[in-house]
Amino acid sequence: MTESAISLREQKRWETSHRISMCAQRLTDAHGLDGFTMDELADAAEVSRRTLFNYFPSKLDAVLGTIPELPAEALATFQAGGPHGSLIEDLGALAKALLAAKEPDREAMLLTRRVLSSSARVLAAAHQRFEQITDDFTALILEREGDDFGIDRARLAIRIIGALFDSALTTFLEGGERPVDELFDRYLTEARSLFA
């Protein structure tokens, strides 16, 4: 199979996953997490029940959606100490590579925030997912920097990047004219000046 055929298939899979997730969030927003069935979700997303379960094993997983995979090139660059040679800058580049998988849509992101804040169960699951992502990125940092860098320092670096992205997303959702990646760069510059 050619590389373009693989990337086209991956793009289609991502679009289907995203469509299912958005339908799950709309249904949760309208009826609550327990207010609809997987069959109703499949109908709303225009997929078969079998396809739905191939993407997501539960409604909660569908609401949270799929985490985009890091592009192999961005990951290799990070592990080699790049692209900037500064851990925080390079973590930011990795986070922006994840963000580039799907251009942020203001309405969709507002829906996601509303759904997350409306259910303690959804919020707890989202928090658990963030902890898993933190663990995954911690392992990447320790592979790059060595075990002497320390788990606590690695987790702190990830939480700093997370706070900067949350600030960028909040500004974007409140009507900011600039794209999220530019807002992130601005907040990273501001954070540098605060710690200087």
C-alpha torsion 58→59→64→66, nearest 10: 50
Residues of the chain with pLDDT under 50: 1
Residue ending a domain, among 66, 98, 122, is 66
Q: What is the CATH number of the domain that holds 191?
A: 1.10.357.10
Tokens at 84, concatenated: 């900037």
Residues 84, 139, single domain; the answer is yes
Give the domain extent around 87: 69-196
Task: Return phi, psi of residue 179, to 5°.
Answer: -70, 160
For residues 99-127, one letter each, b for 16 or more C-beta atoms within 10 angstroms of the residue's C-beta and e for the rest, the string is: bebeeeeeeeeebbeebbeebeebeebbe
pTM for the complete prediction?
Answer: 0.84
pLDDT tens sequence across 81-123: 999 999 989 998 988 887 776 666 889 989 999 999 988 999 9
The reported pLDDT for the residue numbered 6 is: 53
CA 105 to chain centre: 13
Sign of CA dihedral 42, 46, 49, 53: negative
Residues 48, 94, single domain; the answer is no
Residues 74, 130, single domain; the answer is yes
Residues 173, 100, single domain; the answer is yes
Q: What is the CATH number of the domain that holds 38?
A: 1.10.10.60
